[in-house]
Amino acid sequence: MNAQFNLMEKIQKLKREKKAVILAHNYQRPEIQDIADFVGDSLELSLCAAQTDAKIIVFCGVNFMAETAAVLNFDKKVLIPDRNALCPMASMLPAELVRLYKRKYPKAKIVLYINSLAEAKAYCDAVCTSANAAEIVNRMDSEVALFGPDVNLARYAQMKTGKKIIPMPRYGFCPVHKLFNKNSIIRLRQAYPDAEVMAHPECDPSIWEVADFVGSTSRMYGRALASKANGFIVATEVGLLHRLKKDKSEAIFIPAYEEAICVNMKLHTLEKVYLCLRDEKYKIRLPPKIISKAREPIEFMLKIRETQR
């Protein structure tokens, strides 16, 4: 415990000296969330990255998130503590596949989930997150949209907008959100009859059917804080429970599946964050052409959020 405390102190000191900011996704380890300047979902972290005046951004999340921060801050150092923190879902949609679909459906607009590589984003019309997928699809002046890489979020956006959505690839998925099982959630519901069930749209639609609320991690967080309920069954990566328990300590939060753990998100440790700040490694490097092409669709999404404030 003392060693952890010392490491936290050292991180805080380095952070001040180097004018750095630490951004952490909701799925990070509890101790990483606790030393971060900001904890949130992809959309919130993108906004933070776009607005920060820090010289160094330490991004505790997976590669596509740090890439998004780098696209928005080409004049700053964006660092990731462990460069093996890759998102398997994002890797399911290489840029060549987006180009192939674009040739096949030239009239369709392309909306990419933020959980995609910068090289793929360079070919889309707009980027979205799980918090605003339907809204972004609705903003496209086309009744048909190509959407990737998550097929469940594509279905969710289709259900909410009534537009025709063509998923690319056909079966892109998050291996963590695929772990939830409808019958297990029904059993949990019976055990905790007063609890609300909250699910992420990356889950299979059969899970949405048994949920009281479907939304991104930021929306789940907001819902839990606003709700009168004192128990919540949470169908997303277990990391979100740390923040929920901390900020609504009077309630109980039950993971819909205890082993819903994103091993990639958990690669970052306090030790690695310390080394990342001390040695200023590992820097996210992207070709300038990708930066300039991916910037526009990301900014399109951020502008919509700005106008709603």
Taking the least distance from each CB to ligand SF4, the nearer of 108 and 119 is: 119
Q: How far is the CB of 150 from ligand SF4 (least distance, A)?
A: 7
Task: Rule CB under 6 A: choose which of 120, 174, 185, 188 binds ligand SF4.
Answer: 174
By CB under 6 A, tell whether 62 contacts ligand SF4: yes
Neighbours of 72 (CB within 10 A): 23
Closest CA to 141 of 97, 107, 169: 107
Distance CA 126, CA 93 (A): 15
Question: 3-state class of 188 per DSSP?
Answer: helix
Please identify, among the stretches 82-90, 128-136, 151-159, 208-216, the one whose residues bind ligand SF4 according to the rule CB under 6 A: 82-90
Strands (E), 118-160: 126-128, 144-148
Q: How far is the CB of 256 from ligand SF4 (least distance, A)?
A: 14
Residue type, 107: K
Q: How far is the CB of 124 from ligand SF4 (least distance, A)?
A: 17
Examine residue 101 and say whether the peptide bond preceding it is cis (omega within 30 degrees of 0).
Answer: no
Residue type, 159: M
Taking the least distance from each CB to ligand SF4, the nearer of 108 and 235 is: 235
By CB under 6 A, tell whether 175 contacts ligand SF4: yes
Distance CA 71, CA 127 (A): 13
By CB under 6 A, tell whether 89 contacts ligand SF4: yes
By CB under 6 A, tell whether 231 contacts ligand SF4: no
Question: 3-state class of 199 per DSSP?
Answer: strand
Please identify, among the stretches 47-55, 158-166, 173-181, 191-199, the one whose residues bind ligand SF4 according to the rule CB under 6 A: 173-181
Instruction: Yes or no: say if 183 and 134 are a contact pair by the CB < 8 Å rule.
Output: no
Q: How far is the CB of 61 from ligand SF4 (least distance, A)?
A: 8
Distance CA 264, CA 80 (A): 12
Taking the least distance from each CB to ligand SF4, the nearer of 189 and 272 is: 272
Task: Rule CB under 6 A: choose which of 24, 36, 87, 185 binds ligand SF4.
Answer: 87
Distance CA 82, CA 177 (A): 23
Binding mask 101-140 for ligand SF4 (x = CB under 6 A): --------------x-------------------------
Q: What is the DSSP letter of 112?
A: E
- List residues binding ligand SF4 (CB under 6 A): 27, 62, 87-89, 115, 174-176, 237, 262, 264-265
